[in-house]
Amino acid sequence: MKILITGVLGQLGTALQPALAGHDLAGIDLPEVDITEREGLFTAVSRHNPDLIIHTAAYTDVNGCALNPELAYKVNGLGTQNVALACREFGAEMVHISTNEVFAGDRPDGYEEWMPLNPCNPYGRSKAAAEFHVRSLLSRYYIVRLSWLYAPGGRNFIHAILSRARKTGQLRVVVDEVANPTYVKDLAAAIANLITTRQYGTYHLSNSGACSRWEFANEILRQAGLKNVTNTPILSKEFKRPSTPPPYAALHNIAGTAIGITLRPWPEALANYMEKYVKREV
């Protein structure tokens, strides 16, 4: 299949390349192609003439989105509308990458794929707008939601926790934010599997099981062999940021499981990542 990846230099865009080996791959990203500029995007898409576009490009800085909601909509809303229009114009299928932040996060039980969207911050609103555009413009699409993505080399939660723990021996981590940590390698493999099914629709492809940020940090410390670190649970109201995340926005994978696409439990995926990319204390 001829596949074009938007945001090819980002965390997921990078991981998709080995996962999709065997396909005819091409990628676009800033500064050459800006998805908010329709004409340049259409030129790039017509040059590659893909059967499928995997749209990972986004303004992913949630705090930046909170400070500049217009830019959040421009990149995530309008940008995705342009990608969907390009798919329609050039006859390509689309994979659109979305987030658990399209949900309000007020359901301690978590969310199934078809539950109503009700985002509680500008990033979530811009990503909900993106989903709306994909659904209204296309019929051959997959929307893939995920949460708490981590990747090698990324400035991610795992490395932030380890670096602070090693420097200070003390952590304060929020206990009232719950979601699914997701290893980018597992997500990329699941997407590579999904696109062969033609079972178009909406999917939750995070590693299975959910935890709070505090529990995630405890597991990182345990797996890294860091024993003498104090990890104090705090409430998000004690940790002020420009963006307010949804408190309980765990994703349940019902639609993917029904067609045989599941991701392993998050502690197992974390162990695999840590083995490869994190030095264990002895």
Kindly tell me which residue out of 3, 5, 20, 36 binds ligand NAP, with binding defined by CB under 6 A.
36
Nearer to ligand NAP among residue 161 and residue 229 (C-beta): 161
Q: Is 256 in the site for ligand NAP (CB under 6 A)?
A: no
CB of 31 to ligand NAP, least distance (A): 7
Task: For residue 207, state whether it binds ligand NAP (rule: CB under 6 A).
Answer: no
Q: How many residues does the chain have?
A: 282
| Region of 53-61, 109-117, 224-232, 254-262 interacting with ligand NAP (CB under 6 A) | 53-61
Q: Judging by beta carbons within 10 Å of its beta carbon (0-12, 13-18, 19+), is residue 48 exposed, middle or buried?
A: middle
Quick check: 119 binds ligand NAP (CB under 6 A)?
A: no
249 closest CA partner among 158, 181, 165? 181
Name the one range near ligand NAP by CB under 6 A: 2-10, 217-225, 234-242, 257-265. 2-10
**Pair 225, 165: CB distance under 8 Å:** no
Report the number of secondary-structure helices (H) and strands (E) in the chain: 11, 12
Q: Which is nearer to ligand NAP, 156 or 226 (CB)?
A: 156
* CA-atom Rg of the chain in angstroms: 19
Burial class, 199, CB count within 10 angstroms (exposed 0-12 / middle 13-18 / buried 19+): middle
**Least CB distance to ligand NAP at residue 12 (A):** 4
> What distance in Å separates the CA atoms of residue 166 and residue 21, rounded to the nearest whole number?
38
Candidates 4-12, 162-170, 192-200, 260-268: pick the segment binding ligand NAP (CB under 6 A).
4-12
By CB under 6 A, name the one of 7, 105, 110, 246 that touches ligand NAP.
Answer: 7
> Applying CB under 6 A, does 243 fall inside the site for ligand NAP?
no
Closer of 9 and 160 to ligand NAP (Cβ): 9
Q: CB of 124 within 8 A of CB of 99?
A: yes
Which of these segments, 26-34, 164-172, 188-196, 221-229, binds ligand NAP (CB under 6 A)? 26-34
> 143-178 b/e with 16+ CB inside 10 Å = b?
bbbbbbbbbbeeebbbbebbebbeeeeebebbebbb
What is the C-alpha to C-alpha distance for residues 137 and 84, in angstroms, rounded to an integer?
A: 7
Which are the catalytic amino acids? 123
143 is a contact residue toward ligand NAP (CB under 6 A): no
Residue ranges binding ligand NAP (CB under 6 A): 7, 9-12, 29-30, 34-36, 56-60, 75, 79, 97, 99, 127, 146-149
